[in-house]
Amino acid sequence: MDEKTKRTEYTNPGDLELFRKAEQENLPLGIDRLKKMMPQCGFGELGTCCVLCYLGPCRIDPFDNGPKLGVCGANADVIVARNFLRAAVGGASSHAGHARELALLLLEVAEGKAPGYAVRDEGKLLSVAGRLGVPTDGRTVQAVAGDVARKALEDFGRQDGKPMNWIRARSTRKEYEKWEKLGLLVSNPHNEIETAMHRTSMGNDADPLNLWVATLRMGMVDNFAGLMLATDLSDILFGTPSPKVVSANYAVILPGSVNVACHGHNPILASKLVEWADKMEAEAKGAGADGINVVGVCCIGNELAMRSGASYAGHLAQAELFLVTGAIDAMVVDMQCIWPGLTTIAKCYKTRFITTASFVRNPDAIHVEFHPEHADERAKEILRHAIAGFRERKTAGLATHVPRASAKMLTGISVEALVSVLSAANAADPLAPVVDAVASGDILGAVGIVGCPNPKLRYSSMTERMAAELLRNNVLIVTTGCVNHILAHAGFLTAEATEKYAGEKLKKVLAALGKAAGLGAPLPPVLHMGSCVDNSRIYDLLAALAGKIGIEISQLPVAGSAPEFITEKAISIASFFLAAGILVHVAPPPRVFGSPFAIGLLTEKLPGINGGKVLVETDPEKAAAGIISHIRAKRQALGLPLP
Ligand code: BF8
């Protein structure tokens, strides 16, 4: 049977139905293109292909008798380190760009220039302001918001070499001192990105260690100028997520409604579409629809579900399949992870494919340039395109096929929400029940499973199998990004999953916490913390736990995993967690295996320097075993029991 129609116990039946439909309609998808691309370039996979100048392309063959040096004399260690740093730059630039848009919006809100938006969470504003040293007493929300926005933007223009405001405000003392000693306190994200591009261009940095330190610094840019900044400002502008149960999977598409699939990342656009979907219901009904149904694909699905409870459609690799249903009237995209090939499929089904960012264009798309100053007008314009799409679908009698695959999940577990849930068990010291359970061994440790759905591993159910194995061993899971769609579809974010997957000890803890919180059911064993930028929430949680115990984050019995990573953003996020001293499991193999220096650094030397370590494993059960053995070693070092 074809790779894409392989079945495991976790396979989403909706995927299979739509793969078959696309095949019958002779419509090639990404997975078909991947197959044609095999075998992929071995030099590229090893990271030893250099295209940074026109002496090349040069490729180093680490195994046979091929060249060992590029034309300029760069060896494999230098070439791999340069390539990897440039990938981290791509990721950090994406996250910093996302965060900067939010900072500009917050400033516009403070100055009354973005009438469609407001500060929705004053408590979060005051808390962020307090950490930044922005005075709050007796001041208006607008005044405080303006100062917080200016503090954010100050970091992007800083030339004094001082650490970023956001690092000073949002890291623990222990971590700050560690990063200071290691030379990882970055000052200005744009300068850091410029220097990284400069040092990796031809004829500059030829010291692999120096280049890898720059990669860890790029991780710091990613977290503090990207993830953390974006999360803080999104919470201020759109509200801090709180627990809610939402619907997921293909059945969230309603053929009788105007279906709008939001695909991308920044809530600035998507939150407006959700708002106007309600306001324009009468217009949709006038076109014969039941209403307007806005659903979220990939990370924006996380953002919308966490905050507004919008339906949670599917992950990046399912974006094509949602179009194949024929029932999407408009796919509206902002930025990042938007495959160019989507417009080909959209055309086949007469779906309006709408781009909204000046730097994310596609010749086959309708472009509606979106700026916060005219948000309401643009949101209406976009939804009118969708209503026109619905009308055409109905008038032409176009067939749809929406799989009935459906799931429910608990979402909205921000750190604030978690603390509030745990307060029901111990109001004076909310984190105490978790710390006690870790200390006793009822919770062996915790893993953040994050990132993307890679078709190279997707149809072996890499993520689901790894999660099941970790839970069976009493390891609690938190998730962000597209993997959460995967786990939600497979039913891991429900109370029933605790019964089905958790080991006996973990089950007992989750049942007690669920009861204390008045849920009437156990807490799910997989807790959804948001989109990829919300990895900052995982860092916040770790910082809170480590601070409470009085240890460094690197000493906690925890790990991160991107079991099916795809993007450069995953690389920059992983670089941050390495800088924070955490074990990071990744699959497929990162492009470092051509460099003995990189392998030695990432698996042996770095663990001795700050605790950070890379584990590469594409087999889910072996990956879980590697993570568990790391967690056990951390427990042993803390003198905790080893159940
Ligand atoms: O930032 S998980 S495929 S959508 S990169 Fe992209 Fe990966 Fe999805 Fe979100 Ni994150």
**How many residues can be counted in the chain?**
643
Quote the ligand 1 centre to 338 CA distance (angstroms): 10
Longest dimension (CA), the chain: 73
Please identify, by atom number, the ligand 1 atom nearest to the C-alpha of residue 302: 9
Select from 100, 210, 109 the least CA-distant residue to 156.
Answer: 100
Q: Which amino acid is at 187?
A: S
Which residue from 567, 571, 573 has its CB within 8 A of the most atoms of ligand 1, so it is best to mutate? 567
Residues with CB under 6 A from ligand 1: 265, 298-299, 316, 337, 451-452, 481-482, 531-532, 566-567, 569-570
Give 316 Cα–ligand 1 centroid separation in angstroms: 7
Take atom 7 of ligand 1 and give the residue whose Cα is closest: 452
DSSP assigned state of 69: B
356 Cα–ligand 1 center, Å: 18
The pLDDT of residue 63: 84
Write the DSSP string, 185-210. ----HHHHHHHHHHHHSTTS---HHH
**Is 631 within 8 Å of 445 (Cβ atoms)?**
yes
> Which protein residue's CA is at the shortest distance from atom 5 of ligand 1?
567
Ligand 1 atom at minimal distance to the Cα of residue 317: 3
Strand pairing category for 58-59 and 49-50: antiparallel
Q: Confirm if 78 and 211 have CB atoms less than 8 A apart.
A: yes
Between vectors from CA 410 to CA 407 and to CA 411, what angle results, nearest 5°?
115
Report how far apart the first and last C-alpha atoms of the chain are (Å, whole number): 42
pLDDT on residue 6 = 67
Compute mean pLDDT per 10 residues along the chain, 643 residues long, and list them. 67 96 96 96 97 97 90 98 98 98 98 97 98 98 98 97 97 95 98 98 98 98 98 98 97 98 97 98 98 98 97 97 98 98 97 98 98 96 98 96 97 95 90 95 98 95 97 98 98 98 98 89 97 98 94 97 98 98 98 98 97 98 98 98 90
Side-by-side strand order, sheet with 352-355: 366-367, 352-355, 330-333, 258-263, 292-297, 311-314, 244-248, 407-411
**CA triplet 395, 370, 450: central angle to 5 degrees?**
90
Q: Which atom of ligand 1 is nearest to the CA of 450?
A: 2
CB count in 10 Å sphere of residue 404: 10
CA-CA distance, 564 to 561, in Å (whole number)?
Answer: 9
Identify the CA nearest to 280 among candidates 388, 120, 393, 365. 388
Instruction: Tell me the CA–centroid distance for residue 541 and ligand 1, in Å.
Output: 21
Give how far Cα 142 sits from Cα of 109, 111, 120, 236, Å: 8, 7, 12, 12
What is the whole-number distance in angstroms between the Cα of residue 110 and the centre of ligand 1? 30
Please say whether the beta carbons of 235 and 414 come within 8 A. yes
Burial 256-292 (b: 16+ CB within 10 A, else e): ebbbbbbbbbbbbbbbbbbbbbeebbebbeebebeeb
Q: Ligand 1: which atom is nearest the Cα of residue 336?
A: 6
- Identify whether the C-beta of residue 221 lies closer than 8 Å to the C-beta of residue 92: yes
How many Å lie between the centroid of ligand 1 and the Cα of residue 590? 16
Report the distance separating Cα 73 and Cα 535, nearest Å: 39
Q: Do the Cβ atoms of 165 and 152 come closer than 8 Å?
A: yes
pLDDT at 1: 36
Please give the number of the atom of ligand 1 that sits closest to the Cα of 94.
Answer: 1
Closest ligand 1 atom to residue 298 Cα is 4
Ligand 1 pocket test: which of 234, 297, 299 has the largest number of ligand atoms within 8 Å of its C-beta?
299
Cα-trace Rg, the chain: 24
Show the beta-strand stretches assigned E in 188-275.
244-248, 258-263
Going by their DSSP bridges, the two strands 583-586 and 558-562 should be labelled as parallel
Q: d(Cα 576, Cα 338) in Å, to the nearest integer?
A: 24
Q: What are phi and psi of 510, to 5 degrees?
A: -65, -35
d(CA 140, ligand 1 centre) in Å: 37
Atom of ligand 1 nearest to the CA of 337: 6
Where would I find the H helices in 424-461?
432-440, 455-458
- Cα 361 to ligand 1 centroid, rounded to whole Å: 19
Residue 374's CB is within 10 A of a number of other CB atoms, namely 14
Q: What whole-number distance in Å separates Cα of residue 119 and Cα of residue 106? A: 8
Contact 552, 546 (CB under 8 A): yes
Tokens of 636: 């042993």
What pLDDT, on the 0 to 100 scale, is given for residue 2? 59
The answer, as to whether pTM is greater than 0.95, is yes
How close is the Cα of 483 to the center of ligand 1, in Å? 9
Atom 6 of ligand 1, nearest CA residue:
337
Give the pLDDT confidence score for residue 425 in this predicted structure: 84
Which protein residue's CA is at the shortest distance from atom 9 of ligand 1?
A: 299
Most informative mutation of 302, 452, 480, 565 for ligand 1 (most atoms within 8 A of CB): 452
- Ligand 1 atom at shortest distance from the alpha carbon of 569: 5
Question: What would the two tokens of residue 288 be?
Answer: 């014969």
What atom in ligand 1 is closest to the CA of residue 481?
2
